[in-house]
Amino acid sequence: MPRAAEDDQSPDEVALANAAAEIYRSAPQDFVATRKAAAKDARADGHKSLALEITALRKPTQGADALNRVVHAQHPVLADIAEVGAHLRHAQSAMDTASLTKLRPQRDAVIEATLQAIGAVSDGPLSDALKQSVRDSLIAAFADAAAQEVVLSGMLTRTLSYSGFGEVDVTQAAARTSTGTVLTAIVGGGQSDADEAHELDEGPDLRQRRIQEAKAQRDREAEQARTSAAKALAEAEREMARAEAEVLQSSRLLHAAQQRLNEASNARDAAAKAVKAAK
């Protein structure tokens, strides 16, 4: 069952998540018609605000749609994207270049596996431009947990890119509720409503736990980054203090050498005068 990624969802948020999942699961050529029909149904049921939110759902770009199809197909590569991304972000926050180098082949393998998965669920061959947009989105997802969340939401509206530093811009990159929560498509695998209600009664669903774990991971990564930065700053300040001490010592030695040079020059002049006087 598709759900918004928050506890305490309102009925409209649940309805929006359900409608959005169906809309983003539709073929690109059917997106507008499916969205229009869902909005019409919401208005017919007296949910005008819900109809407006459904109408506002953005049609995904070709690259975004390709990634959404992999998510809706529940392809095994999704777990690899999440796992490798977590390892890469941890290594990056710890400034662990050795681990980053070691993880690069795994990253490339996951990207290639995702491209193959897209090829399996797409209607035709992938263009070079589409492949590159998918690669860019995955690189962004590996670098930023928020980017990974929207890439794996199944409701991506545009592909992402990562400049190599800072956070990834995920503005308007995925379907969201009116409160800004990213909507997430969770395909139920043929479960009945009773089965899903039973799961809800038993506790938070798996996706919610994953989101909570992802948030906790982001907090840990941020704390590790702050700790690493503080250590780097302290080491830089110590190195600067050592350099200043060396400059001061060198300055003293230079001053002493200059004095000796002046004294030797004066002695030479005096000796030259004495030789001249003797002649």
Q: What percent of the chain has pLDDT over 70?
A: 82
Is pLDDT at 210 greater than 80 in this prediction?
no
Is pLDDT at 36 greater than 70 in this prediction?
yes
Least confident of 18-22, 146-150, 160-164, 191-195: 191-195
186: confidence class by pLDDT, cuts 50, 70, 90: low
Is the pLDDT higher at 257 or at 197? 257
d(CA 28, CA 33): 10
Q: What percent of the chain has pLDDT over 90?
A: 43
Helix/strand/coil (H/E/C) assignment for every residue in the chain: CCEECCCCCCHHHHHHHHHHHHHHHCCHHHHHHHHHHHHHHHHHCCCHHHHHHHHCCCCCCHHHHHHHHHHHCCCCHHHHHHHHHHHHHHHHHCCCHHHHHHHHHHHHHHHHHHHHHHHHHCCCCCCHHHHHHHHHHHHHHHHCHHHHHHHCCCCECCCCCCCCCCCCCCCCCECECCCCCEEECCCCCCCCHHHHHHHHHHCCCHHHHHHHHHHHHHHHHHHHHHHHHHHHHHHHHHHHHHHHHHHHHHHHHHHHHHHHHHHHHHHHHHHHHHHHHHC
117: confidence class by pLDDT, cuts 50, 70, 90: very high
Whole-angstrom Cα Rg for the chain = 31
193: confidence class by pLDDT, cuts 50, 70, 90: very low
Q: What is the mean pLDDT of the chain?
A: 82
